[in-house]
Homo-oligomer: A and B are copies of this chain.
Amino acid sequence: MATNAYEDGMDKNPANYQALSPLSFIRRTRDVYPDYLSVIYGARRYTWRQSYERCVRLASALAALGVGKGDTVAVMAANTPELFEAHFGIPMCGGVLNTINTRLDADTVAYILDHGDAKVFITDTQFSVVVREALAALGNDDLVVIDIVDGQISGEGERLGNSDYEAFLQTGDPEYDWKIPDDEWQALALNYTSGTSGRPKGVVYHHRGSYLMTMGTVVAWELPNHPRYLYTVPMFHCNGWGHAWTMTAVAGTIICCRNVTATAIFDAVADHRVSHFGGAPIVLGMLINAPEGERRAFDHPVRAMTAGAPPPSAVLEKVQALGFDVMQVYGLTETYGHVSHCAWQSEWDDLPFGEQATIKARQGVRFPMTEDIKVLALATGEPVPADGESLGEICIRGNTVMKGYYKNADATSAAFENGWFHSADLAVVHPGGYMEIKDRLKDIIISGGENISSVEVESTLYKHPAVALAAVVAKPDEKWGETPCAFVELKPDESVTEQDLVAFCRDNMAHFKAPKTIVFCELPKTSTGKIQKFVLREQIRDNL
């Protein structure tokens, strides 16, 4: 008996081993469902046969420019068909897709183009003011710039490149013989973090990870074949949670949306029978705050994923009442998007609506493709007990964790310390194993030696009928070390005094946790709707 009989003569070969890649999905979907609609954008309609051909042309045209394995192609675009096509066309020639947040300033865009080693830059003319300035700051004459010119937008911006996207596609060969990479660990995408402090870091995804992200998303979201997916999550944000690839795998129809408004969402749901979408809580907020005239009736189920900041349970409750079935998910740019979700348990079916909403605000349990998530105590590195109280850091393991940060070995090592990816998010684990985020590591307020969760204070503030948005950060204090300082945005036509709001907090939570200071103002937000606490912290520091 050969001890190694299960290995001898059992090598990988082209018949039994293929590198995992999301590029495989579009080839299959084109073959099986060539005449199904792939993308709808305003009056534009594409079938999978057409989208596939456009992706192959893009790959071919880029290859003709010299783009090959490991070359970065940056794209600064809205959620239009072109950005969808970039998710396939760029990696089809071996390139790495670097989507850039369209709301960044010119200096940061220039930094990303430079640091990311972009060879080609595809940019929508809507953003030409910033892009022009960024290109001037970059001063790289070798960078090839291609303009996306969209007839559907009014006030179309300036053309900055030598070619527009449609003309560029025409230079590509629709029969171009693209290949799936030999190595599934090959880079697929480069996504810069939103940069809550300092320069953004470039998160690198590989083909294997995106393939598995897709599969796990289908399982966790119970995606049927041919969903009708409204793309409200910006594709520049973790590649739109990977859904460009996921919807391709299930041969969905992607409804593109340049400007995310309540009207646009309701119209897409009613007119295109959207079955699925994803969005930050701010998007859900738009829906519940939409005036009657912007709402449209619909009678089919619509499932939504939400992530970003934990949405207040009041928001979840209201959006559910509108007919949207919302699932809270959690993840980071470093994890290709969502890696945990609030998977529903049948025993919760009969709970009162309010309790259901409280549960639905939890970040929950790991996705099927996520190998492990543990909440590890900061002091010991051991898992915290599932008591709903003990705070620890969310740490993640799995194949949808980034390769590393581009050209930043120190940050990469730090993120992977002790063989876990460290999220810097602080959470508790409820009995039953569901995580709930309490804070970012740096958002904990230590007052008189007691930990105060800024999220808890914010949740209390949200219960006040006049409060639209709230953010709580630490304010240095001679006596207490730190005290909670709340920044509050009021609803239109509502008012409340600082004194009354503090009193409200004291009535609804432990007294020591109530904010000592309240500032009424419009809150600074990132392009994806996250409140920028670091701006508030700077404001406090500058006023000291």
Chain A interfacial positions (CB closer than 8 Å to B): 1-10, 12-18, 20, 24-25, 28, 31-33, 35-36, 70, 96, 117, 185-187, 204, 209, 212, 215, 218-219, 222, 224-225, 249-250, 343, 345-347, 365-366, 368, 371, 396-399, 401-404, 406-407, 409, 412, 415-416, 419-421, 433
Contacts and interface: CB of A to CB of B under 8 A. Distances in A.
Contact of A96 (B6, B365, B404, B406): B6
Best-buried of A9, A15, A212, A218 by chain B (most CB within 10 Å): A15
Nearest to A209: B16
A399 B17 contact: yes
A224 B397 CA distance: 25
A204 to B, nearest CB: 6
A5 B24 CA distance: 25
Best-buried of A33, A215, A249, A401 by chain B (most CB within 10 Å): A215
Given A96-B6, A219-B249, A224-B222, A14 B397 contact: yes
Contacts of A204: 6, 10
Given A6-B96, A412-B10, A402 B250 contact: no
Shortest Cβ-Cβ A-B pairs, 6 listed: A14-B419, A6-B187, A215-B215, A16-B401, A9-B409, A10-B403
A88 to B, nearest CB: 16
A343 B250 CA distance: 12
A5 B416 contact: no
B366 A28 contact: yes
A404 B11 CA distance: 8
Contacts of A32: 343, 365-366, 433
A412 B33 CA distance: 34
A385 to B, nearest CB: 15
A168 to B, nearest CB: 24
Nearest to A3: B70
Contact of A6 (B6, B25, B406): B406
